[in-house]
Structure 1
């Protein structure tokens, strides 16, 4: 069971790649709306974002090594280490693209890139380990949400506005929601292995409540963006509510049924994100 859990195809978490796709698109489209567009750099931004997300996913399980018996779970440990090496390779490729984009955009992007890189590595690696400290849900909002949107915008526009930060909030909240769904799905395993995620620290019922509150915050932020005149036709985003709420039926189900919670949340992110980016483009 543990070997299967850490197989590459599962460790990669393809459903979560929607995070990188949507946050990068949000920054690119926001720049396009402001009159800045470069198809080459936009393509490189998307590639770097997807590689960074893949790298984060593949090193995500590295902290589990301390909880797995070296003899009983030798196969699982080897798979985790193998995935970690591939993840570091993804970071290296993303960094290579980043160097070129820094050359085009200037030293401020270097600072943003270093913050993002160290933040990604610190997700499960000591001594930071956001996951073990229960800070992953918060860290993902900034590192895989706001920072990537702002970075994508900056590469195109060579500057940043306060409006971009506001536009990043809904998709960044959804990134946190996806990470929280992963914690809820793995609640029993993390608790039994002593991995103190946010969900383990606050308890299962409170984690479910947080999941529901984040969904409410996502749509509230969209409505407020519309009221502020930053998002045309924001009410059309409400059409995605049925898809986004669909995973909620799994929140109170048994452990085996919850295995679909994270993939379905990722699907909701993709649908919401594409609609959101389309509205932003208008």
Structure 2
């Protein structure tokens, strides 16, 4: 198995979903509570990349075993193309999860062992997402579960690791990230709609149809800015975050999204677009927070 095959298994276009909550939670902890540990930040980024990659592999493994992936997807699926064997994938999953577990135990030993309980719950959700008589990925709940688990769950946990604080504000600050991560899965399911239908899945786009799914995608993207305004009005975000978000937000993303049909052949374009939206939005939020941190330090 080659490095290229491993990268394909990791599905790197989705890894931004794991890194963003870590970065946002770390910088927000610094802004709101004056607490950040850069060693933890680096370790958490590594752990989340490994966990997200392992989750992608678990999903691909069980899809392959069920025969849910067609031969048309050999360009993006290493198992379907024969570049990797099921045993090799299971071995990589074990290694990735083991390393992430070691990182988690270390951080928990330095902060709170509650972190291990949270990690265990997250791990169980990632398994149930792809495994069992009715995997979450086969239901319309995928977007909600992934958004809540990775958006709210990871962001609030990261803030807690740095600052020891968990309250309503740390939950509210994570909601836009939750919306973004849910939209990543919506983009994926919208692109795979026909293939998922043939595999017997009942994903959200299959349930509500293409047009409503596209409207939901647009609504979610708009909500990123709306929620930022709300968070500023209730004094969770400084005004610098809103100004930065307005200036840096990819405002032409909606017109680009509506300019082509969504299917397996345009999946890379759709996933790249939502990735760009989420990355630019969160970078703008982080930029605004950093500006505010510098300003407070100067004052």
TM-score range, shorter chain: 0.7 to 0.9
The answer to whether the 8 A contact 1:62-1:80 is kept is no
4+ residue segments displaced more than 4 Å: 72-75
3-state SS of 2:129 partner: coil
Distance 1:54 1:96, change over 3 A: same
Measure how far apart 1:76 and its partner are.
1.9
Measure how far apart 1:258 and its partner are.
4.2
TM-score calculated relative to the size of structure 1: 0.88
Identify the residue that residue 65 of structure 1 maps to in structure 2: 64
5+ residue gaps, structure 1: 1-5
How far apart, in 2, do the equivalents of 1:24 and 1:144 lie? 10
Distance 1:163 1:244, change over 3 A: farther
User: How big is the alpha-carbon RMSD for the aligned residues of Structure 1 and Structure 2?
Assistant: 2.6
The answer to whether the 8 A contact 1:244-1:272 is kept is no
2:132 maps to which of 106, 126, 129: 126
Measure how far apart 1:183 and its partner are.
0.6
How far apart, in 2, do the equivalents of 1:195 and 1:97 lie? 35
The answer to whether the 8 A contact 1:174-1:269 is kept is yes
5+ residue gaps, structure 2: 293-299
How far apart, in 2, do the equivalents of 1:101 and 1:203 lie? 44
Measure how far apart 1:225 and its partner are.
0.9
How far apart, in 1, do the equivalents of 2:5 and 2:269 lie? 17
Identify the residue that residue 270 of structure 2 maps to in structure 1: 261
Identify the residue that residue 203 of structure 2 maps to in structure 1: 197
Identify the residue that residue 161 of structure 1 maps to in structure 2: 167
Identify the residue that residue 16 of structure 2 maps to in structure 1: 18
2:282 maps to which of 268, 273, 281: 273
The answer to whether the 8 A contact 1:61-1:80 is kept is no
Identify the residue that residue 235 of structure 1 maps to in structure 2: 243
Distance 1:69 1:273, change over 3 A: closer
User: Is the deviation greater in 161-170 or in 239-248?
Assistant: 239-248
Identify the residue that residue 87 of structure 1 maps to in structure 2: 93
Identify the residue that residue 194 of structure 2 maps to in structure 1: 188
Identify the residue that residue 153 of structure 2 maps to in structure 1: 147
1:88-122 CA-partner distances (Å, limit 9, x unpaired): 43222111110111111122212211111111222
The answer to whether the 8 A contact 1:62-1:125 is kept is no
How far apart, in 1, do the equivalents of 2:15 and 2:51 lie? 10
Distance 1:144 1:155, change over 3 A: same
Identify the residue that residue 41 of structure 1 maps to in structure 2: 40
1:106 maps to which of 93, 107, 112: 112
Identify the residue that residue 295 of structure 2 maps to in structure 1: none
Measure how far apart 1:146 and its partner are.
0.6
How far apart, in 2, do the equivalents of 1:108 and 1:67 lie? 36
3-state SS of 2:15 partner: helix
